[in-house]
Chains A and B, each alone.
Chain A
Amino acid sequence: MTDGASPDDERFIERLRARDESAFAELVARYRNRVYGLSYRMMGHREEAEDVAQEVFVSLFKAIDGFRGESRLDTWILRITANHCRNRIKYLSRRHARSRQPLEDTEEGRLVEAAGASHPRPDQQAEGNELETIIRAGLLELDEEHRVVIVLRDMDHLSYQAISEVLEVAEGTVKSRLFRARAQLKSFIQSRYADRRRS
């Protein structure tokens, strides 16, 4: 069982393995915000994030027998979430490539365009919304390897060790991805925000 897992956790996992519906409902209630939050930051699109997050919980329900307790339950859940997001991003990029959909027609394209637009839409006038739009667009500019690290670290506040367990990469890799992601995001925000200010 997980290091430091309390007897309550162990009983909870046993109930999950027994497909106890109330236990699973509790699992969804405990982790829906983190799963959906990571999905949303990774996908940049509410409907896509909702679909991915739902699929994550379906996978958890199916795969709970495979949880061997070698990592924490939340680490395992975030790993499955990150994998789902990665797979969905690949699928969407293949689909976009096949259909040769112009970037500006995609959600990413719209965000990037909105972030770089000289004249923000009325609903983006508020500075908070403006910044959020820019940051979201900046996130989507990062490749998914860097994106997931910065989200897990700066939004989910996971330790390097936890991130390395989620992503199954070395801690050093996590650190290098993180500082590159931060630097890239900083440059994007500064350039877009400066453009806005000038306009």
Chain B
Amino acid sequence: MSRIDDRDLARLNAYLEGELDDGERAALEAQLEARPELREELDGLRETVALFASLPEPEPPEDFDRAVQRRIRRRSRGRYFGAEQRRERLSQVAIPLAALIVLALIAFLLSPGRLEILLEPPAAEDAPDEAPAPLEDDPTPPDASRSRLPPTVEPAPPSRPGPAHRRIEYRYSVRATGESAAIEAELRRRFGARAVRAAEPADGGAVVEVAVERAQLGAALQRLEDLGPVERSRVEVDGAAARVTIRVVIDERP
């Protein structure tokens, strides 16, 4: 049996690769018949190539791409691929913070006397004990609003807490100084037809009841604050209809 040399190996590989021309291939195939060791070598090489090609392709780990980006970010001192990290950091801080704020806000809004802490304590002259008039969608005519007496809407009797649920009504007062008709007109402009002359307090001026939806309370209070300082708030019974009565005291100056 003859030894297989580099020349043989080169020809066998060229044969496997299909690189031999017709004459070279025929010559080699004749040799393969004559030299069993050459045939054995060829079979072994063919099998090796096939085995090697059959190996599963190694796959990088799932987080490979991110790991590369992290490495570049680190090397570039955050100049590249830093946005994701910033987003991650932001989400780590901002989301819990936002959740905390929302929870605090909810807790605040659900507390019965929530706005009392923001407003001045009750002043007797601004807080008549009579029950407020829960206003309906009352399109009080402008002419009626100019007439101080009688109130266009009679105050409703105070609601009482029912056995099934707690009913709360919130009342806020603002002392607005100015000419009565002008203030009323301003209130109507701000609150539409829902501003209704309700009563005349003993110390003069007028009381205007404004009904707003609870969801609009914040905006309504802001409009009140624009008008003058909000002097007090008071919890009254009856709020199940999600209606808030804002009581505006007009301190009329002739």
Contacts and interface: CB of A to CB of B under 8 A. Distances in A.
B58 A40 contact: yes
A25 B65 contact: yes
B9 A180 contact: yes
Contacts of A189: 48, 51
A179 B69 CA distance: 39
Interface residues of B, number: 33
> Among the interface residues A33, A61, A155, A189, which one has the most CB atoms of the partner chain B within 10 A?
A61
B12 A179 contact: yes
A154 B45 CA distance: 12
17 contacts: A25-B65, A36-B64, A41-B58, A46-B58, A55-B71, A57-B68, A132-B56, A154-B49, A155-B57, A175-B14, A179-B13, A180-B9, A183-B9, A183-B45, A185-B48, A186-B41, A186-B44
B44 A190 contact: yes
A131 interface: yes
Chain B interface SS verdict (over half): helix
Contacts of B23: none
Interface in B44-67: 44-45, 47-49, 51-53, 55-61, 64-65, 67
A155 B75 contact: no
A185 B9 CA distance: 13
A40 B69 CA distance: 20
Interface in A175-199: 175-176, 178-180, 182-183, 185-186, 189-190
Interface string A158-179: 0000000000000000011011
B80 A19 contact: yes
Contact of B58 (A49, A154, A175, A185): A49
Nearest to A151: B52
Contacts of B6: 176, 179-180
B10 interface: yes
B68 A54 contact: yes
Contacts of A176: 6, 10
A50 B65 CA distance: 11
Given A154-B49, A182-B13, A37 B58 contact: yes
Interface of B: 6, 9-10, 12-14, 41, 44-45, 47-49, 51-53, 55-61, 64-65, 67-69, 71-72, 75, 80-81, 83
A154 B54 CA distance: 10
B51 A36 contact: no
Contact of A50 (B9, B12, B60, B72): B60
A51 to B, nearest CB: 9
Nearest to B47: A186
A182 B64 contact: no
B75 A58 contact: yes
A183 B41 CA distance: 8
A182 B48 contact: yes
A186 B65 contact: no
Contacts of B71: 54-55, 57-58
Interface string A18-59: 010100110011001100110011000010011001110110
A135 interface: yes
